[in-house]
Structure 1
């Protein structure tokens, strides 16, 4: 029986470009395989720049033994995605472009990569006082639900929401990018490895033992520099 030999990531990506996008202007390989964080289920994240493409699109497929996520942009659409990613404080495309390995170069690529690098370096806009106040209120409300809940099934989902809110609050009030899923921990670690481990320990202890105190203490320590929990007196005008 013949055994398929799966090419290395860069080789597979170059073959993919030659096969599917031979006339594109530029291409990059990004994602976990580039950062040295690949797992057995990792895919190839490939960014394509092609001035002939009318609208940007994303496609998932398998080729040369690899799952591939391809992100195709023209020379206008990527700017819109850069802007939107910066506004939501999750710089997915700027990070892929700034960190990616060049598969196909052109005169347009250095300037695009510089744009991406500047966005990453600058970080997201700081929250206003009103935004911080709103987030304090939402966290307080969620924390009250967490403390008062007596139903384990409900607590699990409240804890998930609370972790997301707390990670967002810490990072945004420190002008740092946020994440979702595995990127929550990655962004917390980039910000402060010790704090990230304390954050994980608090929630891990809750999930394993049902112990809420560490999570409550973590939340209070995060909110304290901004005035602590907020309920009484909060209003929206």
Structure 2
């Protein structure tokens, strides 16, 4: 098929369902094409609900000139994914279901969407004081490595770890969902756009110039309301 003949996302998704899952009870098209954020490399995320499937699975295919990610569930297995996503505070499956465009529905999609939206609106479980204390310690430990390191190659990887730990800390202490890759920035921006931009600015300055000051100040700003850096007196697992 020539590029000019490429089916639209909706057309391709409907054709895929018709050809590969004609007897499914429900199907949704989700992902970047639904949110209006598609790029030249975007794929189609299709969620299938089929009561003949014994267990959930994920599959990647290319069809109709589209890369397609298929997430296949029976009418109960998706609940375990909802539960797991809630526990890890990364609501991938609830997000896909809540935002998904209905491709096929035998009368059960609305209830599943309602479940997904209830999870999303509830937010992740609140961190305990002990968890916050542990996270403060590990952020402090990585920050000390970052400050003391003089090897540029090692610094870059330490900075990457620090940004992941810090973004998680900010979001989880404020009962916000977290993400990975591009979703780190998106979740930060959804929580507080000004803070997200300052976060990016601090690390961007470091990556471009090697100046660590903005990153160090950012970490201290984030930790300050919770007692600041933590090393002296920290104990884990002591009887």
Q: TM-score, normalised by structure 1?
A: 0.98
Alpha-carbon RMSD across the aligned residues, in angstroms, is 0.8
Q: Deviations over 1:188-215 (max 9, x none)?
A: 0000000000000000000000010000
The separation in 1 between residues aligned to 2:215 and 2:103, in whole angstroms, is 45
Q: Tell me the CA shift for residue 92 of structure 1.
A: 0.2
Where 1:7 maps in the other structure, the secondary structure is coil
The separation in 2 between residues aligned to 1:127 and 1:221, in whole angstroms, is 19
Q: Tell me the CA shift for residue 106 of structure 1.
A: 2.0
Q: Tell me the CA shift for residue 28 of structure 1.
A: 0.2
Alignment map for 1:138-217 (pairs within 5 Å): 138-217=138-217
Deviates more, 1:89-98 or 1:99-108: 99-108
The separation in 2 between residues aligned to 1:183 and 1:135, in whole angstroms, is 21
Q: Tell me the CA shift for residue 139 of structure 1.
A: 0.1
Number of the residue aligned with 2:109: 109
Q: Tell me the CA shift for residue 52 of structure 1.
A: 0.8
Alignment map for 1:43-122 (pairs within 5 Å): 43-122=43-122
Q: Tell me the CA shift for residue 120 of structure 1.
A: 0.6
Q: TM-score, normalised by structure 2?
A: 0.98
Structure 1, gaps ≥5 residues long = none
Number of the residue aligned with 1:3: 2
Where 1:202 maps in the other structure, the secondary structure is helix
Structure 2, gaps ≥5 residues long = none
Where 1:126 maps in the other structure, the secondary structure is coil
Where 2:68 maps in the other structure, the secondary structure is strand
Task: Flag as ranges the 4+ runs of structure 1 deviating above 4 A.
Answer: none
Alignment map for 1:26-37 (pairs within 5 Å): 26-37=26-37
The separation in 1 between residues aligned to 2:84 and 2:236, in whole angstroms, is 26
Q: Does 1:224 align with 2:239?
A: no
Q: Tell me the CA shift for residue 75 of structure 1.
A: 1.3
Aligned length: 236
Where 2:71 maps in the other structure, the secondary structure is strand
